[in-house]
Amino acid sequence: MRRASITGWGRCTPEPVLTNEDLASVMDTSDEWITSRSGIKERRVSHTDNSDMATVAGAHALAAAGLEAADIDYVILATCTPDRQIPAAACYVQAKLGTVNAAAVDLNAGCTGFIYGLSMAQGLIATGAADRILLIGSERITPYLDFEERSTAVLFGDGAGAVVLEAAKGDEGVLSMTVGSDGSLAGVLTAEGVGTSFVGNEVPMRIIMDGREVFRNAVTQMGESAALALKEAELDFEDVDVLIPHQANLRILDATARRLDLDESKVYTNIVRYGNTSAASIPIALSEAIEEGKVSPGGNVLFVAFGAGLTWGASVVRWGDRVEALGVSDAKLPPTDRTGLELVLELMEKKRVSA
Ligand code: UT7
């Protein structure tokens, strides 16, 4: 069976930064509370569409793989915050990148989107239905935040990450894959305001979350999924070089590592700088982990995630020989002179006026 191997990686993190102090200036919270309960110090706010971030991340991943846009035969965009409901945001990315030979599709599995995308890419490559896939996780989640709901608004941020997957030439690539869902728990993490449920009942866009219930399920499912993915790969925790988890909350990551009896030094985290970027968090973390030398040639990388649905999943990927990018791209977002706080204040004002 052909295995999908990661040959390119990249990210796009918008420049406007929103700090905990900024949030404390618009709602009843504090840097101390946010840091101690989540590990987050700041997050990014996008001034432009989701597909713009996805395109920039995708361009970097293509360059790192040494490929042209026309080489890609499938674009999978994992997101729950697309530019529009119709068409798929992946189609905008396809046009902006010029992946003229590619199919394009969005995938919504909440924060587990990247892992679900990886499982689909593995399937497409295994069957020969695709040879070179661009898998992007990208979220512009800030417009969905209710800045009057402090327990959710402080957790999320915007950004995009991407990988290129190609058929492995050696024994590298996706060694195992496990994904699952429980739709009976859909209500514990949901969004209002967009979708047919709101026809005739217009309400502002906003995320609603039962934080404690999500936390409880996250720790259990992240631990079980990671253990299952390792078992299927016939590996032990000592064989893992680095765990790249969905960056939901530092306390969830610590609890997961403890549950797995995994040395904390093997767990990659960057939540302190980006918050929870949903489906973008794993590919952003992966591209930073590679640049920081945390991924070694031939090493085993364990991915695990959990999110709205509820959904969960994990995968073990054996890295190939190369941890250096083959090329670089100068793709970047259009400049902005607005700060993260200014962008949030604009959003709050628009929501106030339309309410
Ligand atoms: O990708 C999956 C996405 N979701 C998640 O990962 C979320 C998972 N859940 C969590 O991360 C945590 O449950 C939270 C960070 C959301 C909340 O942490 P917690 O330790 O479960 O706090 P809590 O909800 O039990 O609230 C404790 C207190 C409450 O005050 P009282 O009732 O004890 O007086 C809250 O009102 O903290 C208060 N609180 C805040 N205080 C200051 C809630 N949010 C804030 C805030 N600033 N931002």
- Which helix H or strand E contains 116, and what residues bound it? helix 113-127
CB of residue 150 inside a 6 A radius of ligand 1:
yes
| Dist. CA 31 → ligand 1 center (Å) | 13
Establish if 345 belongs to a structural domain: no
- Domain assignment present for 73: yes
The answer to the question of residue 16 being in a domain is yes
Nearest protein CA to atom 9 of ligand 1, as residue: 211
Residue 151: per-residue pLDDT: 92
- Residue 155 inside a domain? The answer is yes
154 lines ligand 1 (CB under 6 A): yes
Task: Match 């971030």 to its residue by tokens.
Answer: 53
Q: What is the CATH number of the domain that holds 195?
A: 3.40.47.10
On whether the CB atoms of residues 139 and 278 are closer than 8 A, the answer is: yes
Q: What is the pLDDT of residue 100?
A: 98
Does residue 216 line the site of ligand 1, with CB under 6 A? no
Segment 51-105, tens digit of pLDDT: 999 999 999 999 999 999 999 999 999 999 999 999 999 999 999 999 999 999 9
pLDDT of residue 282: 98
Active site residues: 111, 246, 276
CA distance 115 to 246: 9
Q: Is the distance from the beta carbon of residue 237 to the nearest atom of ligand 1 less than 6 Å?
A: no
Closest residue to atom 11 of ligand 1, CA basis: 249
* 321 class by beta-carbon count within 10 Å (0-12 exposed, 13-18 middle, 19+ buried): exposed
Confirm whether 349 is domain-assigned.
no
Which residues fall within 8 angstroms of residue 320, CB to CB, at 6 or more apart?
5, 6, 7, 168, 169, 170, 172, 173, 297, 298
Per-residue confidence (pLDDT) for residue 262, from 0 to 100: 85
Quote the tokens at residue 230: 């390792």
Please list the helix, strand and coil fractions of the chain in percent, rounded to the nearest 5, in that order. 40, 25, 35
The pLDDT score that the predictor gives to residue 191 is 96
Cα–Cα distance measured from residue 321 to residue 327, given in angstroms and rounded to the nearest whole number? 16
Nearest atom within ligand 1 for CA of residue 111: 1
Residues in the chain: 355
| Atom of ligand 1 lying closest to residue 214 CA | 8
Sequence-ordered alpha helix ranges (H) in 156-248 = 211-232
**Domain extent at residue 201:** 4-321
Measured from the Cα of 276, ligand 1's closest atom is 1
Which residues are CB-neighbours of 192 under 8 A, at least 6 positions away?
Answer: 198, 203, 204, 205, 206, 208
What are the helix (H) ranges across 129-210?
Answer: 150-153
Ligand 1 atom closest to 278 (CA) = 1
Cα-to-centroid distance, 38 and ligand 1 (Å): 9
Residue nearest atom 29 of ligand 1, based on CA coordinates: 151
Tell me what pLDDT residue 260 has. Answer: 84
Does residue 340 belong to any structural domain of this protein? Answer: no
DSSP assignment of 17-74 equals: EEEHHHHHTTSS--HHHHHHHH---EEE--SS-HHHHHHHHHHHHHHHHT--GGG--E
CB of 79 within 8 A of CB of 89? yes
Query: Which residue stretches of the chain have pLDDT < 50?
Result: none
Residue range 291-332, pLDDT digits in tens: 999 999 999 999 999 999 999 999 999 999 999 999 999 999
Is residue 307 in contact with ligand 1, taking CB distance under 6 Å? Answer: yes
- Give the Å distance between the CA of 136 and the centre of ligand 1: 29
Q: How many domains does the chain have?
A: 1
